[in-house]
A and B are shown apart, each in its own frame.
Chain A
């Protein structure tokens, strides 16, 4: 089998080519997933580029992205396949006056023609290269997870009436999770695990510079430093990378060169989405830092 990537470094370079800045962990795991033919379970706070990773990998591979958005109540008829019930009924009714036997009809209505493929089946039956993204897998119930197991470990789908359908090629598979619940051991065991956290300051600055090319180096530096400070506060929701980029764009539109306190506070609502968080950050930024109470632990 041909491998898609030569080395972790080539993953980094090629991802950079589509404006996705990876780090060693991301590149290493993507590389390994290709080599071992295993799915990647990507976990981390919202807005750190989990979904974007799958999209970017699809882009550099020139593959079609098939996306299965998970939600509570997802079942196999939405994820795997479904028999086109109504069409089957029509077929039976049309046969009524003909002479065909029961067996004829039965083999007929349980054939490919009456099968509606859903994302998972579509991904493995596709001839062209695909990247399968199973988004927010933590939203489905534990029982529903079991649906994914067969496809994740063996890249095949068993349909009782048709038999087992095997993958024509092994697709890259990404599962994302916001970690609202513990995923089952069975699922985790089949995947490589990748935790994407908020990027460190240097990487975030690079991201801002890549995504907002018109920005000055100085402003990007200031933005990422402020964001880092905000993330150290105990907040309901820390600013995500996408919010950092939004903020950078806003400041650029406002024609700001260097961020002053007032400007920072005025535009905080782009970074933070809860009123209590905004109040908190405002207080923190306008207060004299020398008066920070000693012994109050900071979260890092």
Chain B
């Protein structure tokens, strides 16, 4: 463990910073040597006792991508929070500030209680505490909320030293006991009663947003408190390692947790826009056509025969037609939602995109994406209205492809790019890979994106290799990074 007075002494600070940067790299942030040096230089200009300035100095030099901010913040909190101002409790005098810095937070409930009970004394009953929480939230009293967060963690989290669990479990226990949902309800009821006349829906909504905002703040306080104690218990490096999470672009579509999915969805919108821009850019790339010799000579006459103003031919951009065929069966459910978003993004950008979804039957869903403003609505319609189940609703690639070929095969032309999305887990049905081969012969390009890790390909009922033999390219596509890589080669 690092001594609490580290910022004053120079070499422990350097050591801490080096550890900090090593951890950032371990978390996946690309920190180059120059950036490392910049950071070291930057903090010499910043008063070290100003924690915020210190944080922003490090962020400005080390984090060059906003989606990495969360990862940076987590690591920063772990490395630099022990001596943060949180311990001074918003100006209140704390009897035993070092209590939690030592190894066992659990051993000193009284100390924390004394510090936290700014108005309530040591032996608060749960009811008193709930009341204080209610008042603090109602008035938006940040110092009190912070104190209550400490108190709540001490009381409810049941933290035991040395247990190798992350903070999530403790957080869950604390929140369950505080029951913030009913607090919110009570807050709403109260302000409804206090209002001179019944609140309009708008007012009510604003009020609710305000309270929800405060409750979020409270949750963050609790989380920070738990993290501080865990760091004190288990040391900086171990904790940083536990809290390490993949960056948004590395989150696996198939195994994303609920929280990560939410994050993915948030990251999705800018990404789809980014993809669309890139696709459009690809098409417009090299806008100047080749030199038009005849026109250049003609133009040069006005400069006395000097070709001062070279002329170029107009480019003839190819108008790609894109067919997207996506597996939406249960085995790739998480991926399917993602692919549908991708289809939506592509179809907004190109005039001729046709999309198909299949499980064991196949259906065209282009119509659901046309003129739809709201992607979730389109996805909902695809999931409910598309006719994709033929027999039992288990993937049957062979049958789906066969039907596709029969119904739509003749519409594939030399300008068509076909993209197939799926894990090729065929439940041991016939593969009908001749269809893929035929599609490849007729189309311009045929790509396959597989959401499974490459190591699992062709194991069990996966027959991606058999299909892949007939494709122009087959790509592992498990996270945004890999998808972006694919888009780069996509024309």
Interface residues of A (CB under 8 A from B): 7-8, 24-25, 28-29, 31-32, 35-36, 38, 41, 43-44, 72-73, 85-86, 89, 93, 141, 179-182, 185, 188-189, 191-195, 222, 225-226, 228-229, 232, 236, 259-261, 264, 274-276, 280, 284-290, 297-300
Contact = CB atoms under 8 A, between A and B. Distances in A.
B274 A181 contact: yes
Nearest to B306: A89
A25 B304 CA distance: 59
Contacts of A228: 209, 213
B245 interface: no
Given A24-B52, A180-B273, A194-B60, A225 B209 contact: yes
Given A179-B66, A185-B30, A260-B200, A24 B209 contact: no
A195 B63 CA distance: 10
B373 interface: yes
B205 A32 contact: no
B53 interface: yes
A193 B210 contact: no
Given A182-B484, A236-B373, 16 more contacts: A28-B56, A32-B42, A32-B61, A72-B284, A89-B306, A179-B270, A181-B277, A185-B32, A188-B64, A193-B60, A193-B64, A195-B69, A226-B202, A261-B201, A289-B208, A300-B216
Given A29-B56, A35-B45, A193 B63 contact: yes
B158 to A, nearest CB: 27
Contact of B206 (A89, A188, A191, A225): A225
Given A180-B277, A274-B373, A297-B262, A73 B287 contact: yes
B385 interface: no
A236 B372 CA distance: 12
A76 to B, nearest CB: 15
Interface of B: 30, 32, 34-35, 38, 41-42, 45-47, 50, 52-53, 56-57, 59-61, 63-66, 69, 200-202, 204-206, 208-210, 212-213, 216, 262, 266, 270, 273-274, 277-278, 281, 284-285, 287, 303-304, 306, 308, 373-374, 484
A299 B269 CA distance: 12
13 contacts: A35-B42, A35-B45, A36-B45, A86-B308, A89-B308, A93-B304, A193-B60, A222-B206, A259-B202, A275-B373, A276-B373, A285-B202, A286-B202
Given A43-B66, A181-B278, A232 B56 contact: no
Nearest to A288: B201
Contacts of A24: 52-53, 56
A32 to B, nearest CB: 5
A188 B204 CA distance: 45
Contact of A261 (B35, B202, B273, B374): B202
Nearest to A276: B373
Contacts of B210: 225
A35 B47 CA distance: 13
A36 B35 CA distance: 12
Given A32-B57, A179-B270, A226-B206, A261 B200 contact: yes
B201 A285 contact: yes
Main secondary structure of the interface of A (DSSP, over half): helix
B200 A192 contact: no
A238 to B, nearest CB: 11
Contact of B59 (A72, A193, A276, A286): A193
Contacts of A28: 46, 52-53, 56-57, 60
B101 to A, nearest CB: 26
Contacts of A38: 38
Contacts of B47: 7
Contacts of A260: 200, 202
Contact of A41 (B59, B64, B205): B64
B61 A276 contact: no
Contacts of B30: 185
A189 B45 contact: no
Nearest to A194: B60
Contact of A72 (B34, B53, B56, B281): B281
A31 B208 CA distance: 38
Of listed B202, B209, B484, residue having the most chain A CB within 10 A: B202
Contact of A229 (B32, B42, B209): B209
Nearest to A280: B374
A274 B59 CA distance: 34
The 3 closest A-B pairs by CB, nearest first: A276-B373, A28-B56, A188-B64
B7 to A, nearest CB: 17
B45 A32 contact: yes
B60 A29 contact: yes
